[in-house]
Structure 1
């Protein structure tokens, strides 16, 4: 995939149709494509759960990007909020006995954009993941005017999950920049091909300005 002809927003929020859609690999894949196209970019993990003192998702990004760990990774600018329990940020923060600092996240994004020009922000789970009580990931995206990349796949049920996510983005007034189809989960050829075609046709009719990208199995 050649990204030279794509005009990327300076900040993009990468979310998925569910927890294991392949967001980390998609984020690293896009970042590598941008680097290969001569575009300066860095990735950020919105909230990392299930880790201590490091972000395993940032590690995946860097391996795919081929950069190794960056100074901003060691300073936790790229992963400003890390919680130990693998759960929603809301629950993980309560288990760790501290509040999620959303200002720290947005300030980190500002700093990364100032230095690199482009920031790919990988979310935690999907759009409706609780951050603080009833305050959800999609609320943060709307408040910070972050266009979205939605990662989907060909598993049974993905059409339903994809259309629900697209509807939620539209209702929230969030721009859909692209849908990435992650081919890693392609097991049933009939279902996968139908899923691809259905999502492409849906985008053509309802989100004609959004890109449709297919990511190889990584």
Structure 2
């Protein structure tokens, strides 16, 4: 039984699609897998990202989704978790998230826990997602993308993961929006160089631009040997 944390270099790196594709790959390998969302802002009811995961996996919402075990904190306002919670007179209880993770880890072989925003998002004014990862030491899969600025965001993310001694399990390079083949090829080259330079012994898996998630699969075998 294992918990992997899916982090992003920023808000729109493609964490939800990557998490869903990871879960779909494992499900097709007969692994009893579930996804979890740290917290969700900008929606009501069942987390929109959990719904995205299930759609990509090709399954219906589960009981643990409908009772919000997979995402205990859902806030209406589309903002950083600390602000979205404050606007509803709530505070994100880390113990509740940990208890949900434990419950899911007891029920499934692998839990894929998707973060919220980038790495240094404040959960409260005095506690960030980085603080959480530093405490838990979950093997982390970092999702990058081909948007302009992503090299900077990725290298900063790698540097802070190294500084906080957070284990990096792998790097996902999301090709979307794929505006330049030159950028795609060069970015992978840069990431490979810096992973080696920073002594991160982990693979890179690339996700191509996908139009039909139901009939597509990405090979994540490098992550799960």
TM-score range normalised by the length of the shorter chain: over 0.9
Distance 1:38 1:138 in 2: 32
Question: Which of structure 1's runs of 4+ aligned residues deviate more than 2 A?
Answer: 204-208
Q: Deviation string for 1:132-165 (max 9, x for gaps)?
A: 1131001011111212110001122111110100
Q: CA RMSD in A?
A: 1.2
Partner residue of 1:71?
63
Q: Does 1:100 align with 2:92?
A: yes
Q: Deviation string for 1:93-137 (max 9, x for gaps)?
A: 111111111111110000001001210000000110000113100
Partner residue of 2:32?
40
Q: Which moved more, 1:197-206 or 1:68-77?
A: 197-206
TM-score, structure 2 normalization: 0.90
Q: Does 1:83 align with 2:75?
A: yes
SS of 2:176's equivalent? Answer: helix
Q: How far is the alpha carbon of 1:40 from its aligned partner?
A: 1.4
User: What are the equivalent positions in structure 2 for 1:26-175 lying under 5 Å apart?
Assistant: 26-175=18-167
TM-score, structure 1 normalization: 0.93
User: What are the equivalent positions in structure 2 for 1:188-203 lying under 5 Å apart?
Assistant: 188-203=180-195
Distance 1:43 1:131 in 2: 20
Asked if the contact 1:149/1:178 (under 8 Å) is kept, the reply is yes
Partner residue of 1:4?
none
Distance 1:154 1:71 in 2: 36
Asked if the contact 1:186/1:192 (under 8 Å) is kept, the reply is yes
Asked if the contact 1:28/1:61 (under 8 Å) is kept, the reply is yes
Asked if the contact 2:168/2:200 (under 8 Å) is kept, the reply is no
